Amino acid sequence: MIKILTYNVNGIRSAASKGLFDYLKKENPDIVCLQEIKATQEQADIESIEKLGYHHFWFSAIKKGYSGVAVFCKQKPVHVHYGCDHEEYDHEGRVIRVDFEKFSVISVYFPSGTSGDHRQEVKYRFLDYFYEYSKKLQKELNKLVICGDYNICHKPIDIHDPVGNKNNTGFLPEEREWMEKWFTHGFTDTFRKINQEPHQYTWWSFRANARANNKGWRIDYISVTDNLESAVLDARIVPDARHSDHCPMWVTLDV
């Protein structure tokens, strides 16, 4: 049994200052997937990570203080693949993959689209590319766990105000259609396999006291290929962990 945790930390140095590593020590996941690290490996507290017993792998954006993903794992992987073989997205530090003998884990940070039409178009292109890229990986690697900030709410249950946000990026019809395609063509939403309750969110705006009022969005996911669906033992969102505007979620798998 392994425990995999995913977390958009909104800056690993900021999250570390709020107790991130104490939290990881308490939760003790076997694999940690981080997004929006906003730092290079040289800028992070490597000593604290290694004290927890993790091998660590980083894929930072070229632009300083922006984006970036990382994976920490107790077991050393047989291979690490940096990027998703696309220059634009790799410059932004969007994807890193670690391969083990029986399965592979990806940490991915989807573009958000919040800064205007141009970035929304980047997001749509990324969705198209990443879908095809993942399908190709399925043929090569068979069992995939894709963790990260997808920056999309799948269904009305996944957002506090579906009517008011119907025209906002992250809940646009085209984005939701992509998520539906994703989860009906080879991937399982691990959290919804376990938990069908409403008001379960992973991100809250800093504005209008949104987190205290639980006015959030579920935009972080751990997807597994359908051949791992039966291996899902548990999946949880942890809203009380407060090192970021997101919260972590984790899954336990019998692999």
Indicate which residues carry an active-site annotation.
149
Could you give the angle at which helices 117-141 and 173-184 cross, rounded to 10 degrees?
0
User: Helix, strand or coil for residue 241?
Assistant: coil
Cα gap 240→54, rounded to integer Å:
24
DSSP string of 157-219, one letter each residue: GGBS-TTTTTTSTTS-HHHHHHHHHHHHTTEEEHHHHH---SS--SEE-SSTTTTTTT-EE--
Q: Quick one: DSSP state of residue 159?
A: B
Q: What is the rounded CA–CA span in Å between residue 174 and residue 77?
A: 36
Q: How many CB atoms lie within 10 A of CB 238?
A: 15
Distances (CA, A) of 247 to 15, 38, 163, 168, 231: 11, 17, 24, 21, 24
